[in-house]
Structure 1
Amino acid sequence: MKELTEKIYGICDIYAKKYEIEQSQDWLLLKIQEELGELNSAYLKLTHRGRVGTKTPAELETNLQEEIADVLAFVLLFARERGIDPELAIKNKWFKYLETEIS
Structure 2
Amino acid sequence: MLRRLADQFEAASAVHVAESGIERDDDWFLLKLQEEMGELTEAWNRLTGRGRAKGRSLEDIRRDLADETADLLGHLLLFARRNDIDIAAAVERKWRFQPAQTT
Give the TM-score band, short-chain normalised.
0.7 to 0.9
Structure with larger RCO (C-alpha < 8 A, sep 6+): 2
Find the structure with the greater CA-based Rg: 1
Match of 1:33 in 2: 34
Q: If the length of structure 2 is used for normalisation, what is the TM-score? A: 0.88
Runs of 4+ in 1 over 3 A off after TM superposition: none
By how many angstroms is 1:12 displaced? 0.4
2-side partners of 1:43 and 1:17: how far apart? 30
| Identical counterparts, % of pairs | 36
Q: If the length of structure 1 is used for normalisation, what is the TM-score? A: 0.88
Bigger fraction of residues in helix = 1
2-side partners of 1:43 and 1:4: how far apart? 25
By how many angstroms is 1:34 displaced? 0.4
Query: Secondary structure of 1:52's match?
Result: coil
What stretches of structure 1 of length at least 5 have no aligned partner?
A: 97-103
Aligned residues: 96
By how many angstroms is 1:23 displaced? 1.7
Match of 1:87 in 2: 88
By how many angstroms is 1:94 displaced? 1.7
Letter in 2 for 1:56: S
1-side partners of 2:76 and 2:17: how far apart? 16
By how many angstroms is 1:22 displaced? 1.7
Match of 1:24 in 2: 25
